[in-house]
Amino acid sequence: MRVTLGLVGSRGDVQPGLVLARGLRERGHEVTLGVAPNLLDLAEREGLTAVPLGVDSAELLRSDLVRTRMRSRDPRERVAAVREVSVHGWDELRTGLLELAEGADVVLTGLLGQEVGSAVAERVGCGFAALHYAPVRANDVVGLLPRNGGPRLTAATWRVGERLRWQLTRAGENRQRAALGLAPAVVGLPQRLAERGALEVQAYDPVLMPQLAERWGPRRPFVGYLRPVRTADVPADVPGDVMSSRAQGIAPDAGGVEDPELERALGEGAVHVGFGSMPVPDPAALLRVLDEVAERLGTPIVWGTGWSEIPAVSSGRLVVRRELDHAAVLPRCLASVHHGGAGTTGAVLAAGVPQVVCWFSADQPLWARLLHQAGVGEGMAFRSLDVGRLTDALRRVLADGVRERARTVADRVVPEVEALAAAIDALERAH
């Protein structure tokens, strides 16, 4: 099978696809890979050859469009900004993906880029598949509202959401289709993919939403989180934490367990903090908050700053590094404070530690709510984070009952090897 993968967006959007690409290659399939230009190094460290595709996602997240216009108090300005973000980079994605897809049996994208990816697949006459990192299709189990209003209201809110998404993207999508010589679409992407029988792999764990996993059939298989695994071309004597570091693009001596100050903090029982690809608006202010929280709790805090611009420091109970190896660090922590991205949520679930989600947008509030319902986490909007709220939330999740539930849930998370095998099996059956 010849598979073209177009992976754009943040690290959380790209990393699961890289895991899948490597697994496909090792099972003997031919893989052609395009990756957001600022994340090419992740592919290289996975031993994959990739070409730049789309636009720089870090630049977008730092742009005035995202940081100012999407947060405007003027609702018309916010709607215009959301419309612009929804189709941002589609021209570059279309031209690059069309070239990569020549001769492919299937084009596969992550959640971002589905509209363009499916149109390119239609143009070249091949199949299309997508990786979903959260529930994004209409259902009556997991809803968009802060509180569950029952099956009928849940299903209705999804229908409204899909119509709004179609109104925001319709013109942009049909411009891409016209550029590919395709007729305009008259219904939204979810309906068109359903009519084509396109595979939508649910690359997250059913442990927090078993009813939805039961409801959706083989076209939307729940496989589990696609996280880095030890593979055949990695020497058997390479320690697992080093393998995980390589897979995440992290040198093992830069925030891995070989770091003496980090090792000291973990040995004392630390709280992990990390907001992934979400640039923190005021890192210095957050640094002060974390320092005070660590003091109040009497617990070290280790912060992996990710895409937030702040230098590595170690002072008192606070250890700050650009990156932290989740596989090596999280299982040794008492709890994790993070943005609620699907990948980080999955890594913390698998590590068996409680979570405090300080969400920014998108699917992040959903994960906060599901974790709270499962009794393994707390949630708040990042904008409301302060010393008192974070301290109180951490005290709640550090209670013995919450920690025990987190360990119990971890035992039910699909192992990495099984998740990857299930995703590849689903693709092979479909194509």
Q: Write out pLDDT tens, residues 260-293.
A: 889 999 999 999 999 988 878 888 889 999 999 9
Give whole-number Cα distances, 100 to 92, 104, 302, 393, 424, in Å.
Answer: 12, 8, 41, 47, 20
Name the token pair of 264. Answer: 């000291």
Reply yes or no on whether the pLDDT at 65 is more than 90: no
H or E segment and range at residue 39: none
> Can you tell me whether residue 381 is helix, strand or coil?
strand
State which amino acid sits at residue 94. Answer: R
pLDDT of residue 397: 97
Same topology between domain 2-54+89-225+415-430 and domain 244-410: yes
Q: Residue 119: CB partners within 8 Å, gap ≥ 6?
A: 94, 173, 176, 177, 180, 182
On whether the CB atoms of residues 382 and 339 are closer than 8 A, the answer is yes
On whether the CB atoms of residues 343 and 133 are closer than 8 A, the answer is yes
**Sorting pLDDT into bands at 50, 70 and 90, what band is 245?**
very low
Tracing tokens 């895991």 back to the chain, one arrives at 19
Is CATH 3.30.230.10 the right assignment for the domain spanning 244-410? no
Distance CA 18, CA 343 (A): 13
Q: What is the pLDDT of residues 113-158, one digit of tens each?
A: 999 999 999 999 999 999 999 999 999 999 877 777 788 999 999 9
Distance CA 82, CA 167 (A): 11
pLDDT of residue 42: 92
Instruction: Count CA within 13 A, CB hemisphere, residue 149.
Output: 11
DSSP assignment letter at 218: T
Distance CA 222, CA 213 (A): 6
Q: Residue 398: CB partners within 8 Å, gap ≥ 6?
A: 297, 334, 335, 354
**Sorting pLDDT into bands at 50, 70 and 90, what band is 313?**
low
For the chain, the structural domain boundaries read: 2-54+89-225+415-430, 244-410
**pLDDT, average across residues 58-81:** 82
pLDDT of residue 266: 93
Which residues are paired to 399 by β-bridges?
A: none
Is CATH 3.40.50.2000 the right assignment for the domain spanning 2-54+89-225+415-430? yes
